[in-house]
Structures are given as C-alpha cells and as structure tokens.
C-alpha cells in the first residue's frame, strides 16, 4: 500500500485522501441519519427521512443545470465550497439535534448544494490530474481504502452511537469534514478547466442525435429507480432497525453486508472475463431478490429472513453497479473527455438519475402511508422487477458514457 502511494504526486494523493474521507462519512449521513430521524420524529416514522432524500434529489436535479456556468468558471472554488457545505450540514444536525426531523428541507437544500458543487469539478480533477500511467495505481488504492472503510465505519459508528450518543458520532464526522477541507487547500490544479458553456437546447440536440447518449438517460433513470439512492437501499436498514431497534446491530449488519458485497465484486471481476457467466449471474440476481423479499413475509424465522435479504441486496447492489458501471466508465474518456459538452451532458444525465430516485422514494412513501409496515417486503419485490429493463438497456454492444455515482 505504502509503495503504491509513493508513486503518486501531491495532487493525486490529495484527491485520493479527500475521496476516501468523503466515503468514510456515507454511513453516518445515510443509514444512521435515517435511524436518528426516525427516533426523533413525532410518530417514529421514516417519512421525514424519505422526504429529506426526495427534496435533496429534486434540489440536485435543479442545481445540476443551474450551476453549470459557475462550476465551469470556478471549478476549484466550487469543489472546496462543496466540502464547506458538508461541514455546514453536520453543524446543522448537531445544532438542531432532536429537531432535525422537523426541518428536513434545510438539510435537503444543503445536501443538494454540497453534492452538486463537490462531484462535478471533482470528477474533472480525477480525469485531468491523475496521470494515465498512474491511474490503475490510484484506482486500486482508492478501492482498497474505500472498501476497508465500508466495513469499518458502520460498525464503529454504530458502537459510538450506542455507547456515547448520536452527537458524539456527529462530532467525529465533523472532524473528518474539516480535515477534508484543509487537505483540499494543498490541491493545485495543473491546468484550468475552462470549457465554453452551451445552451440547453444545443446540448439536448446533441443527445437526441446520439443513440448511446439517449440510452444513457434511460439507463440513469432506471438506475436511480432501483439501486443508486433508491428506496431499494433504504428498505434493508429500515427492516433491521425496525426489528432490532439498535444502532449497534444495524452497524454490524451494514459492515457484514459491505464485506459480502466486496467479496462479490472480487467474484465479478473473475467472472467478467467470461461474458456469458457474468450476464447469467445478473439475470439470476433479480428473481433471487424477489424470492428473498417474499420470504420475509412467510418465514418463521424473521431475523434469518432479514439477514438473507440484507445480504442479497448488498450483493445485487455491488454486482449491478459493477456490471453497468464497469462497461461504461471507459467510454466517458473515449467519447466525452476533453469535449466541451461534457458537463452539460453529465448534468442532464444527473437529472434523469435524480428523477428515478424521486419516483422510487415517492412510491415508498405512498406505500407506507397506505399499508402496513409488514407489507414492506412486497414493495421490495415489486421494485426488484425493474432490474430487468436495466439489464436490457445495458446489453448494448457499444460502450455507454455515464458519470460517476454520487454517494
């Protein structure tokens, strides 16, 4: 690990450290924020957290278009502002504390601004500042560290919240956010990102005239509907917390699920050399998820059924992202890298992704409002059916350009 880091320049090491620190906060700002908002809400309902996520994704869709000119002109400033808004979000959580669930729109706005300002220039920097001959080394170290934190952080945060309270964990995340911002000061871009800005109608004509780009928009919508920030990923921690009512158990489940998903990625990387094997594996995962979802409704051992469902969702999330993203990541460099339309196209792609997320979460909220919590596995099974159109869309022989997911 240290030998790999020695070959990287300062800018590459800073990008790596900032990215790893960002991912170390994801469990706190998603899973444990959900349980905290449930515990402090009036009816112990997840609706406040779901509302927060819906409003956040609507904000991200709007800002993805509205901030294109600003990000193109002030990329470095936007990137650092994104980290500053991350600090502000944690400070708001600490300040509001038990009233956090009452003001989801405040957190949603801050979250939307943070994600938009951070990820757009951040992706540019990872493309432009990481040398091609060091890219494999950079990505391998990044994957190793992020995977390690996906296993460690949920358990650590669950233990911290159980022993010392939610605010103690919040201060840990606040410290990580401050370090992240301070490290960004060391980053000095070797060249300016100064692409011309194009009108939305010009960008849309470019997308309409390109079949691969049109397919990306459809794929992004279904990706948001199923895995990336969708209701599908909220259901497993919701079921675990509803059964155990323990942040420690939730952290333990999340850590084990992360370990299983990492093993799955390794398996996929082996199978990906065999095209038919990897494709068949993906087709098996969809009905398997549906079966495990229905098992929750009939199994005499509810805890065992939850464990199986949580783990199969972790597997399908990892495998789905690897299958789809693995086939398309290289294309963004081939078709859009250095292209003056890249930010506009990615912004429109982000809108379709967020629309899929909003549809998924809105459906979950309506389902919970009109049915018993015991029927939640039924919703999960129906949601899993939509994996099929994504598989069909991703079977194109051509590589498809798509942006890096937002955590």
What pLDDT is stored for residue 1 in this prediction?
Answer: 47
Q: Which CATH architecture has domain 1-188?
A: Up-down Bundle (1.20)
Question: Region 334-360: what's the mean pLDDT?
Answer: 74
Check pLDDT > 90 for residue 355. Answer: yes
Q: Which two tokens stand for residue 287?
A: 């009905």
More confident residue, 95 or 328: 95
Q: Work out the average pLDDT over 337-346.
A: 62
pLDDT band at 258 (very low <50, low <70, confident <90, very high): confident
Residue whose C-alpha is closest to residue 113's, from 75, 165, 68, 59 = 59
Predicted confidence (pLDDT) per residue in 119-150, tens digit: 878 877 877 777 777 777 777 788 788 888 98
- Give the pLDDT band of residue 263 (cuts 50, 70, 90): confident
pLDDT of res. 41: 82
CATH 1.20.1250.20 domain position(s) in the chain? 1-188
What is the pTM for the complete model shown? 0.84
Condensed to tens digits (0 to 9), the pLDDT of residues 266-297 reads 776 666 555 555 566 667 777 777 777 777 77
CATH architecture type of domain 197-407: Up-down Bundle (1.20)
76 against 3, higher pLDDT: 76
Question: If pLDDT is split at 50, 70 and 90, which confidence band does 404 have?
Answer: very low
Tell me the pLDDT band of 233, cut-offs 50, 70 and 90: confident
> The tokens 């598989």 sit on which residue?
391
pLDDT digit string (tens) for 151-204?
A: 899 999 999 999 999 999 999 999 999 999 999 999 887 765 555 565 555 666
* Contact (Cβ atoms closer than 8 angstroms) between residue 241 and residue 44: no
């Amino acid at each position: 690990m240290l030998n790999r880091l020695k070959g990287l320049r300062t800018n590459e090491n800073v990008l790596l450290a900032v990215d790893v620190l960002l991912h170390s906060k994801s469990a706190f700002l998603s899973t444990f924020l959900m349980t905290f908002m449930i515990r402090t809400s009036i009816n112990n309902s997840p609706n406040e957290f779901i509302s927060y996520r819906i409003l956040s994704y609507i904000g991200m869709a709007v800002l993805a278009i509205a901030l294109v000119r600003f990000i193109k002109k002030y990329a470095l400033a936007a990137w650092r502002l994104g980290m500053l808004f991350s600090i502000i979000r944690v400070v708001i959580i600490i300040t509001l504390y038990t009233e956090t669930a009452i003001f989801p729109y405040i957190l949603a706005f801050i979250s939307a601004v943070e994600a938009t300002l951070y990820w757009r220039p951040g992706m540019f920097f990872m493309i432009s500042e990481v040398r091609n001959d060091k890219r494999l080394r950079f990505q391998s170290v990044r994957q190793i560290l992020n995977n390690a934190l996906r296993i460690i952080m949920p358990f650590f945060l669950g233990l911290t919240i159980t022993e010392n309270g939610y605010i103690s964990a919040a201060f840990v995340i606040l410290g990580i956010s401050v370090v992240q911002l301070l490290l960004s000061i060391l980053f000095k871009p070797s060249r300016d990102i100064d692409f011309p800005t194009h009108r939305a109608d010009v960008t849309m004509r470019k997308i309409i005239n390109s079949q691969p780009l049109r397919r990306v928009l459809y794929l992004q919508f279904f990706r948001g509907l199923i895995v990336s920030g969708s209701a599908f990923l909220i259901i497993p921690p919701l079921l675990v917390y509803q059964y155990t009512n323990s942040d420690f158990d939730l952290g333990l489940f999340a850590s084990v699920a992360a370990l299983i998903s990492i093993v799955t990625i390794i398996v996929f990387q082996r199978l990906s050399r065999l095209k038919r094997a990897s494709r068949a594996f993906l087709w098996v995962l969809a009905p398997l998820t549906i079966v495990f979802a229905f098992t929750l409704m009939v199994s005499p051992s509810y805890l065992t059924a939850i464990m199986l469902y949580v783990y199969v969702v972790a597997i399908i999330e990892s495998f789905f992202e690897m299958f789809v993203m693995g086939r398309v990541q290289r294309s963004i460099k081939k078709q859009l890298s250095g292209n003056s339309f890249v930010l506009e196209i990615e912004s429109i792609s982000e809108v379709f992704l967020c629309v899929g997320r909003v549809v998924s979460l809105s459906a979950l909220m309506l389902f919970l409002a009109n049915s018993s919590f015991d029927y939640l596995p039924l919703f999960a099974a129906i949601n899993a059916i939509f994996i099929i159109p994504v598989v069909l869309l991703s079977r194109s022989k051509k590589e498809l350009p798509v942006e890096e997911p937002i955590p």
